[in-house]
Amino acid sequence: MSRIKEFNLPDLGEGLTEGEILAWLVKVGDVIELNQPIVEVETAKAAVEIPAKWAGQVQAIFHPEGSTVEVGTPIIAIDTDPGAGPIEASTTGAPAAALPTPSAASLAAVEVAPAEGAVEPGLIGGPAPGGRTAVLVGYGPRNTAAKRRPRRGDTPVPAQPAAPVAPVAPVAPAPVAPAPSNGHGPAGGPVLAKPPVRKLAKDLGVDLSTLTGSGPLGSITREDVQRAASGATAAAEPLAVSAPATVAASFGADREQRIPVKGVRKLTAENMSRSAFTAPHVTEFLTVDVTRAMKALDRLRNRREWRDVRVSPLLLVAKAVLLAVKRHPMVNSTWAGDEIVVKDYVNLGIAAATERGLIVPNIKDAGRLSLRELADAMTDLVQTAKAGKTSPADMSGGTLTITNVGVFGVDTGTPILPPGESAILAFGAVREMPWVHKGKVRPRQVTTLGLSFDHRIIDGELGSKFLRDIGEFLADPEAALLAWT
């Protein structure tokens, strides 16, 4: 059996055909462990970390960061027995940058990973130590947490003709802002930061080696990077404030910028276009006095068992939607051509804006959750989305969606239905406004809801009643809970 094994980019879920390599977590020469994350790949659905199928030493990396690779294409070669002595130069002698595809000589000495159909979908391979199965991050069974070794080296090493090196694209130094560092900290130790944090630092021109991390084990968090970026002094360069180099450098001589449409943004565009031109949309609006709801949230926050729980108005909106669905189950359905499929479960989608574009992860069977369980699920969903770790499984199978445009100070909107869903609710900003209350004009907390629905399934009466019930709950949630449950 050959020592050198090439690992193909696996199918990351739901028949996706390609993925973009965001970041290599290892480099040529690194000794890696079984199931150690080796590369972060973005598909049209999400960014996922792919673990190593074999332990050994990295011999070659075939595609640099930023490359779009088709499923089934070799991405890395691993020597599974590095202690057995040298291997032929023809196998790994060429630089990684010159190896977009394996050479004929290497193919003769390489055992290719099994075809995707040879294992259960989503699995990387056979059994792993401890009786578990090696799986993609976000898929299948998992009994222990994968550990990532910190990267070694100060800066990405350019490819040399005489040695195989990882083709990590070097960061061009900005003329007015410090280039981000992915290497060592002030004391010479490695900088601990996740790939999304490193990317943010790169985009903002923040040098990671100058920061003190506030995360676990001293790791640098997004908040650390954002604070450093916002706290940059004018002494660095006056232009760094008014015209960041990272932005200016992206425009050509024609003063135009071209952004490739790929990944999450590409899928979002395709889905929105398909939905907008296949499902006849209707949007209705309702303005609601939510003063009592805001007071109820304050009382909830002050309860001992809720003091460590993230509580926001969106929690009550989600609960209102779930209870209104029980009253009007047809809203939670799908148009299937010659039939309407009504769901007895609600996979509640929460639209989230991320660095890679808009994603809509969903809480599975949210209607069965208590208010506390719903709050915890929403917190996990938001934190996972912000970290860029939402899995394709978490974004599949949604039945009903909420988009919280109020966090941006927007009053409401006319949202487009996610494909396969029949309704989506826009939750606007909560503002203090003059409102007629008990016959007098008083300052009250007011918000506007916007409900878009598929008119093939939901007629005006049903849509209006559904929106009305959501509004009634938000106007007095404590009374509605007593009356509806």
Integer CA distances (angstroms), 300 to 259, 296, 477, in order? 45, 6, 12
Any idea what the Cα angle at residue 396 is, between residues 75 and 35, rounded to 5°? 35
Which H or E run contains 246?
Answer: helix 245-248
* Rounded distance between C-alpha atoms, residue 410 and residue 385, angstroms: 21
Catalytic residue among 184, 281, 328, 455: 455
Torsion angles phi and psi, residue 440, rounded to 5:
-130, 150
Which H or E run contains 110?
Answer: strand 110-112
Q: Is 455 a catalytic residue?
A: yes
Torsion angles phi and psi, residue 37, rounded to 5:
-60, 130
Nearby residues of 277 by Cβ (< 8 Å), 6 or more positions away: none
DSSP code string of 46-72: -EEEEE-SS-EEEEEE-S-TT-EEETT
Q: In which order are the strands placed within the sheet that holds 110-112?
A: 31-32, 56-61, 74-79, 4-8, 110-112
- Is 5:125 a contact under the CB 8 Å cutoff? no
Smallest CA-to-CA distance from 130 within 223, 18, 33, 208 is with 33
* Rounded distance between C-alpha atoms, residue 150 and residue 164, angstroms: 20
- Is 131:58 a contact under the CB 8 Å cutoff? no
* Rounded distance between C-alpha atoms, residue 182 and residue 198, angstroms: 7
Amino acid letter for position 461: E
Nearby residues of 254 by Cβ (< 8 Å), 6 or more positions away: none
Residue 220 has which token pair? Answer: 């640098």
- Is 385:355 a contact under the CB 8 Å cutoff? no
Amino acid letter for position 366: A
Nearby residues of 168 by Cβ (< 8 Å), 6 or more positions away: 24, 27, 64, 65, 156, 157
| Residues involved in catalysis | 455
